[in-house]
Structure 1
């Protein structure tokens, strides 16, 4: 074996050592460093939570109280048809106060559960009246019934009507509180 062949073998052995020994060790060290940084971040977040445990607990309790207040503000559904009749009557009275006529009022869906405590009812309502009266009725609906969400609103000129009459079509979703079930 010549001198240059020996040197080539030494260089090849050195490169193989780098490839199969040094490189895996460096990768392992990088993984450990990354894992250590993640663990350190978790420890710091945990320390912050522990340091502010009273504030976190107080905020959690406040959120639970607010949740109860919101749920108590929703109408409770004991019987769906009765609730629909009551809600429809209340809305008809509200619209009547603003001199707005009801062309159509249909409950599109029955009770749809969203969670253990919440459910929704969907209704399609078509109203007729002047722009001012429709706007006032819409504003009153939003103010007096914050649990009613508007899915869609469409305003168009009322067909076969004289004067400044328009038709307002609403698709609304009424949030209701489901009755508590005792286990």
Structure 2
């Protein structure tokens, strides 16, 4: 009798473990989808981001700007980019405007920058021989981990470079 009971319990546990494991996996996926949906609704709006400074080869790039995220999963990015070449004693300043799409997936903000327009505001005459917009490829994809997101504050960590972006939501009056 004990052997039959033991065999039955083992058989039931073997059947139940994958089932309970798939339920746990399903619940985890549902929880993540709920978080992604909540993040998506909080993200909609215009965010003013703190300036970010990055070292790129022989230059320092400083970017300051804003991003607008719309309910239709479209986005606009705009601001100023300063490229400083200290060895050559050259500083270039550009206004930028980009359009693209966005989605939240597994607590990550995934963006595709479909198009970008750069306007040289420090040395506009240089655009005749070297137009920065022409070197930017179309449909650039980027992913950032969402460190925190509330109704008014956003902190992202770029998954490629590890750069931290902090932004605050623009209040519409």
Provide TM-score, normalisation by structure 2. Answer: 0.33
Higher relative contact order structure (alpha carbons within 8 Å, sequence separation ≥ 6): 1
Greater strand fraction, Structure 1 or Structure 2: 2
Greater helix fraction, Structure 1 or Structure 2: 1
Q: Which has the larger radius of gyration?
A: 1
Provide TM-score, normalisation by structure 1. Answer: 0.32
